[in-house]
Amino acid sequence: MAQLEIRLSGFGGQGLITAGIILADAAIREGKQAVQSQSYGPEARGGASKAEVIISDTAIDYPKVKEPSVLLAMSQEACDKYLESLRDDGILIIDSYYVKKVPETRARVYSLPITELAREKLGKVIVANIVALGATVEITGAVGQGTLEEAVLSRVPGGTEELNRQALAIGFQLGRKQLEK
């Protein structure tokens, strides 16, 4: 495998950096090399936020993502801003709750009701990041589902394991339905 570069983007407070950390954690658990980095504004919530993950079989030097092959966009602003960087043969996953205007692109586009499902099925939009992560991993095969679940459970606050497990299952299912289409 060459380097797989993934960018998770949206606004601050959506848990995208946490999602990036979990994804990198899962890759490390599989014995792969992984680097996770982020950029965010000084505010705790709101503002643009992005997390980047590089997964590779060999050592990773430059730690930033330049041309991701996978872009998750959980806000319209993030979608508009980062789409240009996505590789032509890449995968764009958007949260249809926030991204109403699907941009024109040569990449494969998956428009998924991520936040909507987190709200409807679990009553908590706070786990939209885990739903997104499940769908992203199902669609891209970036890491195994089992290791992702291990990583999620090791990184979420105690007492929220069941909620996050459900969110992850919803994400996997969401991804699978898309792949079956």
Q: Which residues bind another protein (CB under 8 A)?
A: 21, 24-25, 28-29, 31, 33-42, 60-64, 66
Whole-number minimum distance, CB 110 to another protein, in Å?
26
DSSP state string for 107-175: SEEEEE-HHHHHHHHHS-GGGHHHHHHHHHHHHH--S-HHHHHHHHHHHSPTT-HHHHHHHHHHHHHHH
Tell me whether residue 86 or residue 99 sits nearer to another protein (CB atom): 86
Q: What is the CB neighbour count within 10 angstroms for residue 75?
A: 20
CB of 41 to another protein, least distance (A): 7
How many whole angstroms separate alpha carbon 84 and alpha carbon 81?
7
Tell the smallest beta-carbon distance from residue 17 to another protein (Å). 10
Residue number, 38 or 105, with CB nearest to another protein: 38
Least separation, in Å, of the C-beta of 32 and another protein?
Answer: 8
**Nearest to another protein of 17, 163 (CB atom):** 17
Instruction: Name residue, tokens 């980095």.
Output: 37
